[in-house]
Structure 1
Amino acid sequence: MKKISLLLLLLATVLCFSCSKDDDKETPADYLVLGITSVTINGQPLSVTSGVMLDVNNVKNMTINSVENQITKKHISINYAILDNSVVTPTVSFTSIYPDVSIVVAEKTGDKTHSFTVTVTRKGYEEQLTYTFVFTKM
């Protein structure tokens, strides 16, 4: 009886220690795998920092409205607002160094607004970026 109790105690101890380690740790998102190299808004090239953010510090009439980082889904959504005083239709252009990156641009036009939603994904990777640009006529 002592041998069975000792064996059960040993088995319980081994099971306890073997289950305490978390082997399912997620790797952090790396948006550089999307390879965004250039973004052009209305013909003006913008710098891309950390593979995600657009440097709008020196861009007149453009600001970041919101950023949502869904860490567990490896998805970042960034919304930009642009005051537009041009008579020319707004344009948005993205390029990536990787040929298998998907860049989908959805355009929507309203009375005083013109918006673009750009979704960037890459096959075989979980990372996803969504940019929304809302141009408002002044």
Structure 2
Amino acid sequence: MKKILNWGLLVVLMMIFAISCSTQMTTLENGKKIDNRLVGVWSGSEKDQQIDGVSKKWDMTRNADGTFILDFVFTQNGRTQETQETGNWWIEGNKFYEYHEESGKTDVYTYSVLNENQIKFKSQSISVGMNNDSYEFTDTRRK
């Protein structure tokens, strides 16, 4: 009897694990995968990583359909400039892909979900020049 209960408990735990993993990922009609934990409005910032003397802040809205809107605020020598970029995002394994419509280029990052409100990204291949080969940042959930 004890063996049957242990087996039943194991089956239930495996089912819960399978369900929780499957809800994290969605496959879009185009075959690309979305990690649902990354959907939402996220904020981040960095200073001097891309260009010395430049600080950058952003809000990124990642939608469940694989589209994004990225609002940047750049500040250098007391002057501020705002820009907006749009595109598509998807994941493959632990890599995050960000295709920018404006440039026609795709940035690639490894990512790790630190908790439900923070994601750490590390550049693998990005279309803009950087001061730093190991560009890293953490996005924090706003919504």
- TM category (shorter chain) comes to under 0.3
- Larger radius of gyration, structure 1 or 2? 1
Bigger strand fraction: 2
TM-score w.r.t. length of structure 1: 0.27
